[in-house]
């Protein structure tokens, strides 16, 4: 597991437990989730914010592969973002990620319940599968996440579909099944259910 040091409390924490923060007083700093939330609570004037820690959870995807999800709560001003991510692909532009927004002062277990329901719904759908011609789109809809391809000086994306990394070229090749068809591309916030 890759680790990083929090710029505020100096704790060594897992990479997934950090956030890049920019404020008026500081330039880009890497903070642990706890320090980020503490500073954000102060900034937003929330005195009684209590960050609930949730244990990792294992859930299967549509292919039956079990993924371990870690959770974290991030205070974003007047919203609380509860995020779940697949740590098997930590630091890579791949893996499932889910986010649910809620009220920071409401019961965080209720928000967790809603997030888990959403995860189950989305994990149950497979958009691509391996066929005779390589990876293919199962139906006529493909949902995923846009990520940077990680190649230095590259301004090219890769996509993450069904928790797996799909190269931009590969996505193009898969779309050739639909040559002559129309398409509609809509980008949505990470917390939206699409």
Which window, 3-11, 16-24, 55-63, 142-150, contacts Zn ion (CB under 5 A)?
3-11
> Site map for Zn ion, 21-60, x if CB under 5 A?
-----------x--x-------------------------
Q: Phi/psi at 18 (nearest 5 deg)? A: -125, 165
- What the block records as the tokens of 101 is 């927004």
- What the block records as the tokens of 46 is 């929330």
CB of 28 to Zn ion, least distance (A): 15
Q: Which is nearer to Zn ion, 32 or 171 (CB)?
A: 32
State which of residues 4, 8, 164, 191 lies at the interface with Zn ion (CB under 5 A): 8
> Site map for Zn ion, 95-124, x if CB under 5 A?
------------------------------
Q: What is the torsional sign of CA 92, 40, 34, 8?
A: positive
Say which residue the tokens 């493909």 belong to. 142
Q: Which is nearer to Zn ion, 37 or 94 (CB)?
A: 37
Strands (E), the chain: 3-5, 12-14, 18-21, 29-32, 57-60, 66-76, 79-86, 97-102, 128-131, 134-137, 145-148, 157-161, 164-167
Is 9 an interacting residue with respect to Zn ion (CB under 5 A)?
A: yes
Is 125 an interacting residue with respect to Zn ion (CB under 5 A)?
A: no
CB of 81 to Zn ion, least distance (A): 18
Contact 86/68 with Cβ under 8 angstroms? yes
Interacting residues toward Zn ion by CB under 5 A: 6, 8-9, 32, 35
């Amino acid at each position: 597991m890759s680790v990083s040091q929090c710029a505020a409390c100096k704790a060594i924490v897992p990479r997934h437990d950090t956030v890049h923060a920019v404020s008026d007083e500081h330039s880009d700093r890497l903070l642990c989730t706890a320090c980020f939330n503490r500073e954000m609570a102060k900034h937003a004037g929330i005195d009684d914010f209590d960050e609930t820690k949730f244990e990792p959870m294992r859930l299967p995807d549509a292919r039956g592969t079990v993924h371990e999800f870690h959770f974290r709560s991030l205070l974003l001003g007047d919203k609380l973002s509860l995020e779940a991510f697949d740590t098997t692909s930590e630091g890579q532009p791949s893996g499932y990620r889910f986010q649910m927004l809620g009220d920071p002062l409401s019961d965080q277990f209720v928000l967790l319940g809603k997030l888990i329901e959403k995860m189950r719904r989305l994990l149950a759908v497979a958009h691509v599968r391996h066929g005779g011609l390589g990876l293919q789109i199962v139906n006529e809809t493909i949902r995923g996440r846009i990520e940077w391809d990680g190649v230095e000086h590259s301004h090219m994306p890769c996509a993450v579909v069904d928790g797996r990394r799909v190269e931009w070229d590969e996505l193009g090749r898969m779309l050739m099944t639909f040559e002559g068809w129309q398409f509609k591309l809509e980008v949505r916030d990470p917390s939206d259910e699409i």
